[in-house]
Copies of this chain bind each other. A is one copy, B any other.
Amino acid sequence: MTFTRIFSGLLFSLTVFTAQADMDIPWTFKPLPDQPPIPADNPQTKAKIQLGKELFFDARLSITGTHSCNSCHNLADGGEDGRAKPVGVYGRKGQRSTPTLWNAAYFTILNWDGSAKTLEEQAEKHLTDPRVMGMPDGYQLATRISSIPGYRKQFDSVFGESGVSFANIAMALSSFERTLVTPNSPFDHFLRGDKQAISAQAKRGFRTFIEEQCASCHFWVNLAGPQPGLAMQQGEGFYELFPNHAGTDYEKRYGLADDIGRFYFSQIETDRRMWRVPTLRNIERTAPYFHNGSVKTLDEAVRVMAKTQVQHVLNDQDVADIVAFLRTLTGEFPAIGLPRLPATPGRTAVAGYDG
């Protein structure tokens, strides 16, 4: 907490902008790079990305054969499920609203509470979470995947001797996920110097966004704080208290303080109601909002943030302006071809799990 506060305060104090119509852009905002950081121990290869894509769309990765990664992280849309909380295997409801997977590779830490240090760890945890994909353990998943000849061949080719393994499944998935980036949003064009890329209202909204201290946490390439390699390393979290000011009407109405946040994972007292700062990219595509999905619209989410975090009540114009700015954060979604999944001719790979 202390680190976050000092760090973001420092960055905020360094932002410089003027009151002119053509504002200077704080240095803390950067266009989304075309490529996210790639970990040294899991380099990208074309074959690994293709394998990861097949796994991503394959419901045989869930115990019941009903859920693929794409079931909740829907790549035909905002990279999440449009619901307050996800539904995993056996109809089990998830604990928290699904975060978008678009641009997740720019995070230093994964999940709402930072309970996974890498995409690889996030994948492993969700594959074996009884509320998500429900595999009893990684060995049983690897055994099932290994029973599918087309996969076995691909794993052997991509990973050599280690072949199919739980770790390699997570590595392949993560390699594919590192291609899920949405560059060239209107705001990115604006940051690169095209002053006409966003409307006058969006520019006003951007200024208000900074003045209202939203930019203290929502900055840098993913509008979610530092990316890996800048000031923070992969696995270090950038957290904020939410709600920052306790006892608002919003808090009661939306149950915002009912979840103890990172404390649930870390059991460290100062982590109570601490949350990883989420990205604002493609935010218009990821309603409903917040960790519990309790807020249904983006304008209401903006009001809630201003009140709970900086004790401001925004007027309708300010809200509309900020929302206009946030809508400029929707980027270009890459074309994705539905993969053909490796078959198990004449038999099913999910027999016996008929729940």
Contacts and interface: CB of A to CB of B under 8 A. Distances in A.
Contacts of A110: none
Contacts of A347: 287-288, 296-298
Interface string A115-157: 0000000000000000000000000000000000000000000
A247 interface: no
A268 interface: no
Interface string A324-338: 000100000101111
Given A66-B87, A298-B347, A347-B298, A338 B340 contact: no
Given A76-B57, A81-B66, A91-B90, A323 B337 contact: no
- Among the interface residues A64, A75, A339, A343, which one has the most CB atoms of the partner chain B within 10 A? A343
A336 B333 contact: no
A113 interface: no
Interface string A308-335: 0000000000000001000100000101
Contacts of A84: 351, 354
A188 interface: no
B346 A284 contact: yes
Contacts of A65: 81-83
A280 interface: no
A249 interface: no
A141 to B, nearest CB: 15
Given A346-B287, A354-B85, A338 B90 contact: no
B341 A77 contact: yes
Given A90-B91, A340-B333, A344-B287, A59 B81 contact: yes
A338 B354 CA distance: 28
A147 B296 CA distance: 15
Given A91-B90, A344-B287, A59 B85 contact: no
Contacts of A338: 75-76, 335-338
Contacts of A299: 346
- Tallying the copies of this chain within the complex gives 2
Contacts of A233: none
A345 interface: yes
A71 interface: yes
A74 interface: yes
Contact of A340 (B76, B81, B354): B76
A48 interface: no
A253 to B, nearest CB: 15
Given A297-B346, A323-B346, 16 more contacts: A58-B76, A71-B71, A83-B348, A83-B354, A84-B354, A284-B343, A284-B345, A284-B346, A285-B343, A287-B346, A297-B347, A333-B340, A335-B337, A335-B338, A336-B337, A337-B338
12 contacts: A59-B82, A65-B81, A66-B71, A66-B87, A76-B339, A76-B340, A77-B340, A83-B348, A284-B345, A287-B348, A298-B345, A298-B347
